[in-house]
Structure 1
């Protein structure tokens, strides 16, 4: 009878260590191998770039300096073992140098080594499995990994499950992003009937009779963050532009009526800040993809098995409710400013996957696609204050002058004792079923005067611009382990001056040695004109 022994050492990984120490793996009570014994060694590397570019020609970027985006500690990582047919491989509760919960193992020691001086690729922590327990006629063939779950219960939800049940597990968006949950990366391998979705590591050929043989033939474990990251550059002041028929831009000229007549003028818009909109409440713990997807059915380069990555995913379809309002007039919102690479932990937003909602255009507000909502203020040239302005009947007016026009029309139907002044005019939001979105109507002395309705009102110049987040291959959405890096470079039109989250009517990635790699962020960059 052969005896397979398992001893659990441990590791922790923090991507980007400033210095490393060389330590030997922890050995069991009988550190040398005996006839028939099989040992497992897990070696973890910080992977660096894993190739500088993907087929999609978008950059990769490491964890932000000063953040916990790449941190993994011995307290916050678990390994899950399965048999070749995907059944949980139940390990012994005794004789293991670590904590065992059925097929889940928590390591309990850190051993870091740097074998060739390359900090980016050679930081290694070694986990040794072995110990005097008999797993007669059976050994683990598959390994799955989870890091940075929120608590022990969140780790345990993966334990004692069949491998094929793992992709069905959902996790909720954390209240704060102090830990970055990671799981084994997902990608497609092969095509046609032989295609497989890979979200685990096959360790069947990496179990060796000697430690040295195992170290020379490590099984690689790749981890990817569940989070995506959004950031924006280009907030600030712009001259409002218009599009010519040939698509070129020109300075827009607005005719604005006030008590002095009609002024033809350019307008400025100051982009004040931004907020994420329609972010996911949950996602699958393991990236879900469809093995039937191809470059033709999805988009070219969506999968890269060589880099252990794919660039699209399925999601549970649960996003934050829109509550029928955009917080345009909430001074506590729109707190995110320009991203500064010298301050990489500021002005960023993390979110989970949202891919099931495909809007009709980049400015379409009618879906639950994840978007960037920008607050701005419209100003006259040379002014530091927002212009209180309305549009009615395709004409623009200062608010006070428009009130004077309303009063004049109101008083024309009243006798001398019922005359009103401009102070008696108040604009109310249109809320009727047939009302145009984000419009107002006039009241005088508290009475509706809907002769003046369908009014667009830039209250103190406040307006909003809306950008659905674009992925790759003409897809909208956010996918885990991606950075959505936006640069605004111009502004067309005056935006939408209201808080209805609908379209305006006029739309303006034996021993056993395994390396664990934390996949770097995949950057999707977009330069866009707000309109």
Structure 2
């Protein structure tokens, strides 16, 4: 089994202290020297920690320089606020203003990997700064030059600058102190403000402003257990047929479209720090010693009172531009823009949801949980081909149509008054279709993407085959015409019902990404914090094996590979792969998965 690590942000501006988000209305004090002030800022990056060394069991992992540069600070915007948390000024530092060095012997307990300092000159209009926030590699600087209460609600739709192709965006971490006060901004004292650049340059110790930064991105890696990270083929026999599943790639699904710029804890939901702490008590979520926390509230955290499929689709047909999350197609993971081979790493926005989403009672759970999706194809008796599953039987396409003919035979008869069956069925009589409405039940929940039925291909084909329609045993058989064609097909749907299609043998396995929450064995409900992606965490998923082959672990089939994937929510939630998932801080979160289980 592979060991994976979670890692904390590799580039940090280390903050010794921060203050509560509570508002104040204290008088604003002018500084003596008027327009300009100088401060010295220390920039630090964390080194890897050891699970054995940490009493809370956390693992840390360095950011990389290649193949993706996760570490570089290309620029830092320092924003200053007065005692009432109102914006008073800012300064933008370039990478040339901060020289990074290895190690930091002054703060060994912080696992510092690299550090650097810079002196900043800032115009503050003669007002004494009380707080500061830092934004590294900002996507936009315009809407963060505001008061703190406005900044903390800013939304971002990317985690890197330059249209998500540049440097990783970071800002100072958010956490609660031991008294339960939230720390978002860094306090600035009079001893940290200087009247000249030369004076600021000589500052040491507590006279230097130190801030921890954490990346906005989350990071996911999915690998097989083999040395080359590949996932072994799955082979077995089902319904007396030899099957082999070949993995062709993986990708992320149900990813967030937006996230908060600064980490948010919505106290309208949590109500208070004690209640939040109790809610997340199953894991070590708040870490004031390291000036960080390991959970957050995303913009779409709350569960709607009545889901109609608009916000969170039940099925693929309901996905629109208004859906809360991004749902990608099978083809895009198979060979398109979302294709990744096992061993690859993908970055994404923070995405957490209320634990009410992942309870067994939520019948659209899998459309609300961000997941890694493993895609590939089955071979049946050595050939990649379309097949169908119905009542724990596997049918190839023509055999499936003949079986549907047997079922529909009480209503479709030939001119000799013989019920339609597998013997008198003629080619091209049926088309295989995905209906847009269930034959009964709640229409708002739609029809699962790979559920199909049959219908007559056309009036002409039915007439050419000599097929008549008999509505019931008390009526005479009639010719199929344009006038009754729709009613006949509706009756066929009612009688034949729905089966599962695996077009071209395509199937996928949905693996909801686990966070750090721990649910006790046999618990009635799933613990808060059990699923989701939190910024600056690395989720390392290792597929260790396949579950025993069965119809329950076969994976989800595909009817139209260009339709968005909305995994069905099955109370049994069989995943079909064994996988080990770990969350690294650039904090490591491990997860091991048995595909199909």
TM-score, normalised via structure 1 length: 0.71
Per mean C-alpha deviation after superposition, the further-off stretch among 294-303 and 203-212 is: 203-212
Distance 2:186 2:542 in 1: 38
Contact persistence 2:103–2:115 (CA under 8 A): no
Kindly tell me: are residues 504 and 279 of structure 1, through their superposed partners in 2, closer, same or farther at Cα, counting changes over 3 Å?
closer
TM-score, normalised via structure 2 length: 0.64
Contact persistence 1:373–1:467 (CA under 8 A): yes
Superposed, which structure 2 residues align to 1:158-169 within 5 Å?
A: 158-159=144-145, 161-169=146-154
* More helix by percentage: 2
Query: How far did residue 212 of structure 1 move?
Result: 7.5
Distance 1:270 1:454 in 2: 26
Superposed, which structure 2 residues align to 1:56-75 within 5 Å?
A: 56-66=56-66, 67-73=68-74
Kindly tell me: are residues 505 and 222 of structure 1, through their superposed partners in 2, closer, same or farther at Cα, counting changes over 3 Å?
closer
Query: How far did residue 220 of structure 1 move?
Result: 1.3
Helix, strand or coil: the match of 1:165?
Answer: helix
1:144 aligns with 2:133: yes
Kindly tell me: are residues 520 and 368 of structure 1, through their superposed partners in 2, closer, same or farther at Cα, counting changes over 3 Å?
closer
Distance 2:594 2:124 in 1: 65
Contact persistence 1:404–1:422 (CA under 8 A): no
Q: Deviations over 1:38-93 (max 9, x none)?
A: 852223233323776666524222222322321112xx3110112233233x3xxx
Helix, strand or coil: the match of 2:189?
Answer: coil
Contact persistence 2:541–2:592 (CA under 8 A): yes
Helix, strand or coil: the match of 2:204?
Answer: helix
Q: How many residue pairs align between the two structures? A: 439
Number of the residue aligned with 1:401: 399
Helix, strand or coil: the match of 1:313?
Answer: coil
Number of the residue aligned with 1:442: 454
Query: How far did residue 202 of structure 1 move?
Result: 1.6
Q: 2:541 aligns with which of 481, 486, 493?
A: 486
Number of the residue aligned with 2:210: 220
Gap regions ≥5 residues in structure 2: 1-9, 13-32, 106-110, 225-229, 302-310, 320-327, 441-446, 463-488, 519-529, 548-552, 560-564, 575-583
Distance 1:366 1:56 in 2: 30
Gap regions ≥5 residues in structure 1: 1-13, 17-33, 91-102, 241-251, 256-263, 340-345, 509-518
Number of the residue aligned with 2:97: 110
Kindly tell me: are residues 231 and 480 of structure 1, through their superposed partners in 2, closer, same or farther at Cα, counting changes over 3 Å?
same
Helix, strand or coil: the match of 1:57?
Answer: coil
Q: 2:258 aligns with which of 282, 295, 298?
A: 282
Number of the residue aligned with 1:426: 431
Number of the residue aligned with 1:127: 118
Query: How far did residue 309 of structure 1 move?
Result: 1.0
Q: Deviations over 1:225-265 (max 9, x none)?
A: 1111112112533436xxxxxxxxxxx6521xxxxxxxx24
Distance 1:504 1:130 in 2: 56
Distance 1:115 1:365 in 2: 45
Q: Deviations over 1:447-503 (max 9, x none)?
A: 644443312122221112112111111421111111111112233411111367252
Number of the residue aligned with 2:587: 522
Superposed, which structure 2 residues align to 1:222-371 within 5 Å?
A: 222-234=212-224, 236-239=231-234, 253-255=237-239, 264-265=240-241, 267-289=243-265, 290=267, 292-293=273-274, 294-299=276-281, 300-317=283-300, 324=318, 327-329=329-331, 332-333=335-336, 335-339=339-343, 346-356=344-354, 358-360=357-359, 365-371=365-371
Distance 2:124 2:290 in 1: 37
Distance 2:335 2:101 in 1: 47
Helix, strand or coil: the match of 1:72?
Answer: coil
Helix, strand or coil: the match of 1:473?
Answer: coil
Distance 2:190 2:585 in 1: 27
Per mean C-alpha deviation after superposition, the further-off stretch among 329-338 and 266-275 is: 329-338
Two-structure CA RMSD over aligned residues (Å): 3.9
Distance 1:173 1:369 in 2: 19
Q: Deviations over 1:297-354 (max 9, x none)?
A: 2133100011111010011118898663662356544511111xxxxxx542322333
Query: How far did residue 146 of structure 1 move?
Result: 0.6
